[in-house]
Amino acid sequence: MRSPRALVIGIVGLAVLATACSAASPSPSAGGAAITATLKEYLIELSSATAPAGSVTFSVTNSGTMIHEFVVLKTDIQAADLPLTEDEVTEDDYTSMGEVADLDAGASGEMTATLAAGHYAIICNLPGHVRQGMAIDFTVQ
């Protein structure tokens, strides 16, 4: 049998863990999905590459050393295969679902979009950034 002190320590530990986990997770709007995104030279990392159809909230942090942006495009083209014009993707050729624009190093932002099932490309469309690897596929089911 555990002592009362060990039980209290265990309960306090669980409370601290629960608080840390809830603070680190983005809060989706009204029952939607929550995706955490990290931008850095030259990479976009997502907490999940998929989400259910409906409201999706992206909590985006620029952990790099330069300005980055986060653009969600509806397209059947794989993110790495998006054609470039003058070192950028022509966003008007696709359906833009929204963006978090021009995040300074260390800054964070959030966007929520209602996404239908299908394929999306998420990119940093600053000159040269897609070419250097800042493009990732995202699937809504």
Provide the whole-model pTM.
0.79
Of residues 40, 12, 39, 35, the one with CA closest to residue 25: 35
Q: Is 24 left (phi over 0), alpha (psi -120 to 50) or beta?
A: alpha
The sign of the dihedral angle between the CA atoms of 81, 85, 87, 89 is negative
Residue 104: helix, strand or coil by DSSP? coil
Would you say 29 and 55 are in contact if contact means Cβ atoms under 8 Å apart? yes
Mean pLDDT of the region 110-136: 98
Q: Which domain holds residue 14?
A: 4-140
Question: Is the model's pLDDT at 110 over the cut of 80?
Answer: yes
pLDDT at 60: 98
Mean pLDDT lowest for which of 19-33, 44-58, 127-141? 19-33
- Binning the chain into helix, strand and coil, the percentages to the nearest 5 are 20, 45, 40
**For residue range 30-66, what is the model confidence (pLDDT) as tens digits?**
569 999 999 999 999 999 999 999 999 999 999 999 9
CATH of the domain at 64: 2.60.40.420
The number of folded domains in the chain is 1
pLDDT at 30: 55
Q: How confident is the model at residue 29 (pLDDT cuts 50, 70, 90)?
A: very low
